[in-house]
Amino acid sequence: MSTQPQPHYSFEDYLTVEREACDERHEYLAGQVFAMTGASYSHNLIVMNLAAELRQRLKTGPCAVLANDMRLRIEAADACVYPDVVVLCDAPTFHDGRRDVLTRATWVAEVLSPSTEGYDRGGKFALYRRLPSLRQYVLVAQDRLAVDVFTRQADGRWILDAHTDPHADVPFESLGCTLRLGEIYDKVAGEPPADPPLPDPAA
């Protein structure tokens, strides 16, 4: 999210303009509108891996998997965001008859970048915590193998489980399924190759 908001808007003003926009996406927070920057190749691969693998596991059940362009309204925080991946396991509810702004979510994932990691872990997580339906919040690094899963407990606390083993399963209890960490990072470039050896002068 950009740190340069545009002038103050009501949520309905924001939504009218956003629905007409073709080339840009913006998030809304308490009257401020923030332009979203483009995503990297790795970011897009991770989003598609998550969405595709979850879709395979959940297609016979009630859960719906959506990626990138689904707006999510967080009424209690007066916010509207675009999660990288969102899963809804209940009947969908919408802001209005256009059916393009969800007001519920069961599971949300954000793919981290250097410019957004602090916000995704802090301020944005604070927004998501105000969504009563949300059960898990997932943060996926794109510069290393690391997936953090925050799960809401019955008493309202959030518990973190961190995963870094590419061969290990990452459990998503709220969805009743698991993904192997390596599946989330399929075709995502790993560590840069080591420098080639220097030529042997004696050779």
Asked if residue 104 belongs to a domain, the reply is yes
Q: Are strands 85-88 and 64-67 parallel, antiparallel or unpaired?
A: antiparallel
CATH code of 79's domain: 3.90.1570.10
Give 5's pLDDT tier (boundaries 50, 70, 90). low
Give 72's pLDDT tier (boundaries 50, 70, 90). very high
> Distance between CA 43 and CA 38 in Å, rounded?
10
CA within 13 Å, CB half, 154: 0
Q: Which two tokens stand for residue 109?
A: 């994932």
Q: What value does the CA radius of gyration of the chain take, rounded to a whole number of Å?
A: 19
Through-space distance between the first and last CA atoms of the chain, rounded to whole angstroms: 54
Task: Summarize pLDDT for 20-29 with one digit per residue, the tens.
Answer: 765 677 777 7
What are the angstrom distances between the C-alpha of 167 and each of 46, 57, 181?
A: 16, 18, 6
Task: Summarize pLDDT for 137-165 with one digit per residue, the tens.
Answer: 999 999 999 999 999 999 999 999 999 99
pLDDT at residue 198 in the model: 38
Asked if residue 189 belongs to a domain, the reply is no
Q: Which domain holds residue 122?
A: 40-184
Residue written as token pair 């080339």: 23
**Beta strands in 153-195, from DSSP E residues, in sequence order:** 158-163, 169-172, 177-180
pLDDT at residue 192 in the model: 37
Task: Summarize pLDDT for 82-134 with one digit per residue, the tens.
Answer: 999 999 999 999 999 899 899 999 999 999 988 889 999 999 999 999 999 99
Q: How many domains is the chain partitioned into structurally?
A: 1
pLDDT at residue 20 in the model: 74
- In this structure, is the dihedral angle defined by the CA atoms of residues 108, 110, 111 and 112, taken in order, positive or negative? negative
Q: What value does the mean pLDDT of the chain take?
A: 87
pLDDT at 196 over 70: no
pLDDT at residue 15 in the model: 82
Asked if residue 100 belongs to a domain, the reply is yes
Look at residues 90, 102, 118, 89 and name the one whose alpha carbon lies nearest to residue 15: 102
Asked if residue 197 belongs to a domain, the reply is no
Asked if residue 29 belongs to a domain, the reply is no
Asked if residue 2 belongs to a domain, the reply is no
Asked if residue 155 belongs to a domain, the reply is yes
Asked if residue 31 belongs to a domain, the reply is no
